[in-house]
Amino acid sequence: MTNTLHRFGAAETFDDDFIVFASPSTGRNDVGSIPKLKKFLEMALPYNPVNIGDPVHGGAVRPKRGLNTSANWKRDARPDFRAVIDGINEPASVVAIFDNAKAAGEFLAEVVEADLGLSVNISASVEGAQQCCKMAGIPRHSVGYSLGFEGKTEKLPNTQVLTLSTMCGHGMISASLAKKMIDWVKEGRRTPEEAVTYLTRFCSCGVFNPHRAKHILEEARSRME
Amino acid sequence: MKINPDKCVACGNCTYVCPMGAIYVDPVIKRATIDRDECVECYACFNGLSTENLNPPLVRMVRKILQWGRVRFDPEPDICPTAAFEPDELVWPRTVRRAFSDPRATHESTGVQGRGTEEVKTNDVTGRVKEGEVGFTIEFGRPGVGVWLRDIQEMTWALAKAGVAFEKKNPFTLLMTDVATGTIREDVLGEKVLSAIVEIKVDVARTEEIVRLVHDVEQRVDTVVSLGVGTRCDANGEEHIVAPILERLGYKLERAKTNVGLGRITNPEMSAKPAVEEHEVAAR
């Protein structure tokens, strides 16, 4: 899973994007990992994550089946962190997303202390991750660099769309929907907050950063690309 | 995936949510339709859209009246009002599309969701990439372009010819009939997926050679490629070997995934065994 590695943007644009995740490894430490994964996310909550999730059930804002027509006017868009934690029922990577280095670093320090025995990674700018490690007082073990997109890059959408859509590295947020949301915000048909909620529901593992998305949409509103 | 024509009201919401742009409203039948060649069975439509269970004939009539009056119906953009999407019973080789495209589908071969590989994120317990080694994740089709598996074979052939080691526990390696030549089984070559990762490992001295090789081959394949380069840090958490090579090659290292080394082997049956595993299968 490299679904957080190839987010589009320059390093300085990731200053509100810190993804901390815990991963069990199949056959090595997956037995008995479910309570540890839940504990990892429980520990994240006091640091005010902007999203949490797991790849089996999704993030804290999810699509719903069987809505009634009133959903078109009144719909609950609040993140449900409790549902994410309670729903974990198989060993898989869980994520907590923070919009600042301080929260991510302090959370990481608490994770070190808890000694869960699971692999823990930070996906952020290279320097941002180093900053978190320093705050937690631990050295980095391994690092995986993103070299960005190559090949037939002419097939890619514009950078505003790309910045939004690549926040779901699994590709579940389509470029067309990201473009539509930018257009709707520009037209004043929806607020950035509403547009962010629509997009967040399509991310199937919870790595989408709604804080960063709102910022991108607000910026796109006043800038044509 | 299929759209039930008895339920679809052609609202068009789903045409935007398909990452492949494979859904369109057919002007003849006036229903949303899926281009099966382009559909990669990612289930973004089925899993991502919320649903209502409105009465289809009633919705069609209301839409028709509003359209006649030039009134724009402005529903929530992430709802299928009649729950018209129905998963298909997939059979081989089309099942490959879903395995590589739907992040909630677990790869049976590795037991891992998503792209089916753990790569550097569990390196602290797998020892997949050791000091002096570099692991490459060469991902095709992402973001939002997709890739035909026959195009990936161009790359695996070139890598095999260069004598690299393919990661054994990677679902794409398991599609190869001959790892020594990088040849992929013929019956899946005509399948399209949202993305797939080829994973290899080489000695650090070969970093530049592999980056150049990948760069050369990616000019010949009809998709985008995202390259990830993983390596071990030293005892102080520093990495001064691979980053300078990549920077010399012109890459600006904006983002990284950093494993902080907290993992350990805890499964009872594994704790008793030495932590040495075979990860790669070498090409000739």
A130 φ, ψ to 5°? -65, -40
Residue B141 DSSP label: S
**In this predicted structure, what is the pLDDT of residue B236?**
95
B151 and B235 in a single domain? The answer is: yes
B80 and B164 in a single domain? The answer is: no
Q: Is the ipTM of this complex over 0.85?
A: yes
* pTM for the structure as a whole: 0.94
Distance from CA of A2 to the nearest CA of B (A): 8
Two structure tokens written together for A131: 């900053």
Cis peptide upstream of residue B143 (ω within 30 degrees of 0): yes
Which B residues in the span 88-117 are in contact with A, Cβ-Cβ below 8 Å? Answer: 101, 103-104, 110-115, 117
Contact B120 A142 (CB under 8 A): yes
B48 and B122 in a single domain? The answer is: no
Two structure tokens written together for A194: 């509403």
Which A residues in the span 34-53 are in contact with B, Cβ-Cβ below 8 Å? Answer: none
- pLDDT (tens digit, 9 = 90+) per residue, B13-46? 999 999 999 999 999 999 999 999 999 999 999 9
B143 and B247 in a single domain? The answer is: yes
- Interface contact B11, partner A, CB < 8 A: no
Q: Are B217 and B185 in contact (CB under 8 A)?
A: no
| Local confidence pLDDT in tens for the 225 residues of chain A | 457 899 999 999 999 999 999 999 989 999 999 999 999 999 999 999 999 999 899 999 999 999 988 887 888 889 999 999 999 999 999 999 999 999 999 999 999 999 999 999 999 999 999 999 999 999 999 999 999 999 999 999 999 999 999 999 899 999 999 999 999 999 999 999 999 999 999 999 999 999 999 999 999 888 766
**In this predicted structure, what is the pLDDT of residue A69?**
83
Contact B49 A63 (CB under 8 A): yes
Number of domains in chain B: 2
Range of the domain at B81: 2-86
DSSP string, B165-205: EEETT-TTGGGEEETTTTEEPGGGTT-EES-EEEEEEEEGG
Residue B95 included in any domain? no
**Dist CA A12 CA A29 (whole Å):** 35
Q: Which residue of B has its CA nearest to A180?
A: B16
Cα A110–Cα A116–Cα A122 angle in degrees, nearest 5: 60
**In this predicted structure, what is the pLDDT of residue B273?**
54
Query: How would residue B281 be classed by pLDDT, with cut points 50, 70 and 90?
Result: low
Flag the least confident range among A22-26, B118-122, B178-182, B255-259: B118-122
Per-residue CA distances from A137 to A130, A141, B173, B236, B260 (Å): 10, 13, 38, 11, 10
- What is the total residue count of chain B? 284
Report chain B residues whose CB lies below 8 A from the CB of A2: 115, 119, 137, 139, 197, 226, 228, 257
Task: Tell me how far apart the terminal alpha carbons of chain B are, to the nearest angstrom.
Answer: 40
Contact A146 B254 (CB under 8 A): yes
**In this predicted structure, what is the pLDDT of residue A34?**
97
Residue B92 included in any domain? no
- Interface contact B281, partner A, CB < 8 A: no
Contact B260 A5 (CB under 8 A): no
A-to-B residue pairs, Cβ atoms closer than 8 angstroms: 358
B262 and B201 in a single domain? The answer is: yes
**In this predicted structure, what is the pLDDT of residue B116?**
57
**In this predicted structure, what is the pLDDT of residue A21?**
96
* The last residue of a domain, from among B86, B114, B143: B86
B186 and B231 in a single domain? The answer is: yes
Residue B91 included in any domain? no
Report chain A residues whose CB lies below 8 A from the CB of B122: 23, 25, 28, 119
Which A residues in the span 164-223 are in contact with B, Cβ-Cβ below 8 Å? Answer: 165-166, 169-177, 180-181, 184, 189, 198, 201-202, 204-205
Contact A150 B237 (CB under 8 A): no
B61 and B170 in a single domain? The answer is: no
- pLDDT (tens digit, 9 = 90+) per residue, B159-178? 999 999 899 888 899 999 99
Per DSSP, the three-state class of A170 is: coil
Query: How would residue B284 be classed by pLDDT, with cut points 50, 70 and 90?
Result: very low
Q: Are A4 and A207 in contact (CB under 8 A)?
A: yes
Residue B238 included in any domain? yes
What is the residue whose two structure tokens read 């805890």? B266
- pLDDT (tens digit, 9 = 90+) per residue, B52-77? 999 999 999 999 999 899 987 778 99
**In this predicted structure, what is the pLDDT of residue B115?**
59
Contact B258 A153 (CB under 8 A): no
Report chain A residues whose CB lies below 8 A from the CB of B119: 1-2, 144
Q: Are B263 and A119 in contact (CB under 8 A)?
A: yes
Two structure tokens written together for B33: 């339709």
Give me the CATH number covering residue B12: 3.30.70.20
B141 and B54 in a single domain? The answer is: no
- Interface contact B119, partner A, CB < 8 A: yes
Which B residues in the span 159-198 are in contact with A, Cβ-Cβ below 8 Å? Answer: 194-195, 197
Q: Which residue of A has its CA nearest to B219?
A: A151
B158 and B246 in a single domain? The answer is: yes
Residue B143 included in any domain? yes
Residue B39 included in any domain? yes
Q: Are A214 and A182 in contact (CB under 8 A)?
A: no
Mean residue pLDDT of chain B comes to 91
**In this predicted structure, what is the pLDDT of residue B283?**
56
Distance from CA of A224 to the nearest CA of B (A): 20
Query: How would residue B184 be classed by pLDDT, with cut points 50, 70 and 90?
Result: very high
**Dist CA B118 CA A33 (whole Å):** 16
Residue B93 included in any domain? no
B17 φ, ψ to 5°? -90, -10
Q: For residue B233, give the nearest of A93, A141, A181 by CB distance.
A: A141
The answer to whether residue B256 scores a pLDDT higher than 90 is yes
- Interface contact B221, partner A, CB < 8 A: yes
Contact B256 A4 (CB under 8 A): no
B246 and B164 in a single domain? The answer is: yes
**In this predicted structure, what is the pLDDT of residue B275?**
47
**Dist CA A52 CA A58 (whole Å):** 9
Contact B17 A63 (CB under 8 A): no
Q: Which residue of B has its CA nearest to A129?
A: B258
Closest by CA to B87, choosing from B97, B72, B78, B75, is B97
Two structure tokens written together for B57: 């004939």
Residue B99 included in any domain? no
Q: For residue B124, give the nearest of A27, A130, A141 by CB distance.
A: A141
B234 and B263 in a single domain? The answer is: yes
Q: For residue A120, give the nearest of B19, B256, B260 by CB distance.
A: B260
- Interface contact A137, partner B, CB < 8 A: no
- Interface contact B276, partner A, CB < 8 A: no
B177 and B275 in a single domain? The answer is: yes
| More confident position, B79 or B110 | B79
DSSP string, A81-113: HHHHHHH--S---EEEEESSHHHHHHHHHHHHH
Closest by CA to A148, choosing from B147, B210, B246, is B246
Angle at which helices B149-161 and B207-218 cross, to 10°: 150
The answer to whether residue B108 scores a pLDDT higher than 60 is yes
Distance from CA of A52 to the nearest CA of B (A): 16
